[in-house]
Amino acid sequence: MSYCYFDESGQIGGDTTKPNVSAGFYCALVVVDNPKALGRCVKKTVGGFSQKQLEKFSGTLHAYRELDKTRLRLLGHVAKTDV
């Protein structure tokens, strides 16, 4: 069985002249056969956090809020894993 993770960002039909309104609408889709492997990638990423980062960690990785270092670390783990 395959698992699908979907996320979107932006707004369709919003007034892009207003501040903080995205000019685009973005979608991301990840399809995996092994969700546990993907979960391990996330755990490895979070496991590399400093104590200061862990204090701010809400339990969810949000691409727009994470440091470039965190995003790259997660993508690196996923690239090396058979998910």
pLDDT band at 36 (very low <50, low <70, confident <90, very high): very high
pLDDT in the model for residue 72:
92
Q: Three-class SS of residue 74?
A: helix
Q: Which residues contact 8 (CB under 8 A, 6 or more apart)?
A: 25, 26, 27, 28
Instruction: Let me know how long the chain is.
Output: 83
User: By mean pLDDT, which of 13-22, 23-32, 59-68 is the weakest?
Assistant: 13-22
pLDDT band at 1 (very low <50, low <70, confident <90, very high): confident
pLDDT in the model for residue 7:
83
64: pLDDT strictly greater than 80: no
